[in-house]
Structure 1
Amino acid sequence: MSIHDFSGATNDSAIDAYTDARQAEYVAFLHRVPFAIDALNLGFLTGFREDCSYQQQQFLNLKLPVGMLDNDFRNPNLDRYTERVLEHGPDVGIIGDAYDRAEARTYVRAVRDLQKRVPETEFVIVPKCKAALEEIPDDIVVGYSRGYADILAHDFSDPVDWRGRRVHILGGSPPKQLTVIDQLTQPTLTGDPPADIVGLDWNGLHRGAQFGEFWTDNGWDDSGRDADHMTVRATVRHGLGHVRSFWENQGVWPEGPTEYTGRTQYQPPTPADLHSSTCVECEDDVWRGSRGPFVAEYDTGDVCGYCCYGCYFAHRTRNHLEEVMGEASVYFPPTSS
């Protein structure tokens, strides 16, 4: 039977159960701005590791919601992570890796305490051995390691060990994650309950984009390598679109619109933000134009002033610049009446 063939299920309710089990509540992408902005606009849950940030300080007035807060798995510190959770109030918190039963119990106690203080956050404990997996209660999401990690989930467990659990798949390219989803949710002859795929994340797009490659369901495509107009940001964004389409076609992408973009706070630039009255394109005084300065904030963090629209367009096009928040990042002076 094909892994996508549900003919072995006994009735419509069983088919619905397996279909629902595959569909995630979120698909996460952890990175800094401006990449996080594009991911948000495409419906991804964004965030960063506890020892990092969105690096939005280079922009004038930009604040993004912290959807997912990962732990620093190379240097774990539960007290430090707890402080960061209370600071950011993420939607999802990857609290830590449990290498034995004792560590699993410690993380469970921490989750129970945090659930009282930040009840809207979904916490994930990542077991690194079968004993730790067994120690984590069924109501807490368990992290299935599939990407870059010292111990992967399949190193110590079988798919049946994860069935009936709420699961977040950590890392691995979409095809690798899809294999895990199929293993944990497809109908079995013994009638094992499917795992509930709560979420998944993969941050591998940026590495390929630095070499002009973007991910597709047919593998990495390097057609952007020699295209001057394809910036790293544009290449990552193109790959994100392919990732979303892949999960939509597999019935894994979350159903309905996401609320993440509505939580972004941004104030566009104004002439008051200019540190020079010189047009960056023609070097005329930006205040001597018939309408006043045009101002753009780019994803490089630069705020540039122009004496006219023509200078803005020429400078932007020649240098392959992109505004941090699209048209919202451009100040157009009022037209004279």
Structure 2
Amino acid sequence: MAIHDSADPVSNSTTETHTDARQAAYVAFLHRVPFALDALALGFLPGFREDCTYQQSQFDTLECPVGMLDNDFRNPDLDRYVDRALEYEPDVGVIGDAYDAAEAQSYVDTIRELQGSLAETEFIIVPKCRAAIEAIPDDIVLGYSRGYAETLAHEFSAPVDWRGRRVHILGGSPPKQLEVVEQLTQPTLTGDPPADIVGLDWNGLHRGAQFGEFWTADGWDDSGRDADHVTVRKTVRHSLSRLKKFWQDHGVWPDSTPQVDETELTYSGPTLGDIESAACTECSANVWTTDRGPYVAEYDTGAVCGYCCYECYFSHRHRNNLEEVAGDRSVYIPPA
């Protein structure tokens, strides 16, 4: 997916209009498998933080692109991030937070070096002061912090500081992000050029889903919390669909999205070696002392559970509204 386009700053590009400036090139969702695959299928740009992966150990081959590689902003290490970027070759890379002009310049220098090997990667520097904004050249995307970072963009800057620049909005709920989009792109009496909203990301959907809530434009909805057929994965998937519709309605959703036609998945399924405890997850009986041996199931929550019998597997799965990663292929049934 080609995102990188730094030929000209915003003021000399075709994004002068309010409509063009607010439309993103991508909307990212950072999570593990299988949530990343569901997001990709809906057109989101998948990815993860540099100290994580898609957690796809059960998959023999997984060609899910690393669309966005975020940095570990609580424990930053530029050399480590560079190594990860060269390994994964992401479409988008959040290289780090710049708390002063000197730190911003160090990131700029690193990006210039990386561009020889990663010419198609859109790198983002997250300024944490006005001086850092000014030190970052116009062709490099600015990261506008709106989520749970210690220093948020609106705390040290005004919208005019970001206008005329290429911007990625980092975190914050969709209504808060939309407010930023409006502040940075809507026409002004002084004729300030709009910012070019290159992209945005928000990963808060999974947290709500764990409590049976899905996201809507009107807030969190728990109407499906007690439904037997609702799982965390289905709830996240529903929220993603709602989120996509929200950005489409507001003219932010991109015209083109990552393609999934060539994404191939070969799933090996859980094995007896994946069981971490001899106790049946449902009744605590020893799964190794049964006549047939353990039943094993891998769920989209990431848990791998062992059971002493099919009845325990079925009861535990049904009572907790669990969903397997890949249907029947995620359940190991011992031979009769």
Asked whether the two chains share a fold, i.e. TM above 0.5, the reply is yes
Please tell me the residue identity of whatever aligns with 2:125.
Answer: I
Q: Is the 8 A contact 2:14 2:20 kept in 1?
A: no
Counterparts of 1:264 and 1:187 in 2: how far apart (Å)? 41
**What corresponds to 2:261 in structure 1?**
262
Q: 1:109 to 1:263 in 2, by over 3 A?
A: farther
**What corresponds to 1:53 in structure 2?**
53
Please tell me the residue identity of whatever aligns with 1:198.
Answer: V
Q: Is the 8 A contact 1:213 1:225 kept in 2?
A: yes
Q: Comparing both chains, which one has the higher relative contact order based on Cα–Cα distances under 8 Å and sequence gaps of 6 or more?
A: 2
> Superposition pairs for residues 247-286 of structure 1, below 5 Å?
247-259=247-259, 261-268=260-267
Q: 1:32 to 1:164 in 2, by over 3 A?
A: same
> Superposition pairs for residues 122-201 of structure 1, below 5 Å?
122-201=122-201
Report how far residue 324 of structure 1 moved: 3.2
**What corresponds to 2:325 in structure 1?**
324
| Structure 1 residue matching 2:236: 3-state secondary structure | helix
Q: 1:204 to 1:118 in 2, by over 3 A?
A: same
Deviations 1:75-131 (A, max 9, x none): 111100000000000000000000001100000000111111111110000000000
Q: How well do the aligned residues superpose, as a CA RMSD in angstroms? A: 3.2
Report how far residue 63 of structure 1 moved: 3.8
Counterparts of 1:86 and 1:46 in 2: how far apart (Å)? 17
Please tell me the residue identity of whatever aligns with 1:264.
Answer: T
Report how far residue 18 of structure 1 moved: 1.5
**What corresponds to 2:8 in structure 1?**
none
| Structure 1 residue matching 2:215: 3-state secondary structure | strand
Report how far residue 61 of structure 1 moved: 3.5
Report how far residue 231 of structure 1 moved: 1.0
Q: 1:29 to 1:130 in 2, by over 3 A?
A: same
**What corresponds to 1:307 in structure 2?**
none
- Normalising by structure 2, we get a TM-score of 0.79
Counterparts of 2:96 and 2:114 in 1: how far apart (Å)? 14
Residue 112 in 1 paired to residue 112 in 2?
A: yes
| Structure 2 residue matching 1:169: 3-state secondary structure | strand
**What corresponds to 2:34 in structure 1?**
34
Unpaired stretches in structure 2, ≥5 consecutive residues: 1-12, 274-289, 332-336
> Superposition pairs for residues 39-118 of structure 1, below 5 Å?
39-118=39-118
Counterparts of 1:240 and 1:325 in 2: how far apart (Å)? 19
Q: Is the 8 A contact 1:128 1:152 kept in 2?
A: yes
When the two structures are aligned, how many residues end up with a matched partner? 295
Identical counterparts, % of pairs: 67
Counterparts of 1:34 and 1:231 in 2: how far apart (Å)? 13
| Structure 1 residue matching 2:261: 3-state secondary structure | helix
Deviations 1:122-142 (A, max 9, x none): 000000000000000000000
Q: Is the 8 A contact 1:29 1:46 kept in 2?
A: yes
**What corresponds to 1:237 in structure 2?**
237
Counterparts of 2:69 and 2:116 in 1: how far apart (Å)? 18
Report how far residue 201 of structure 1 moved: 0.3
Counterparts of 2:194 and 2:82 in 1: how far apart (Å)? 31
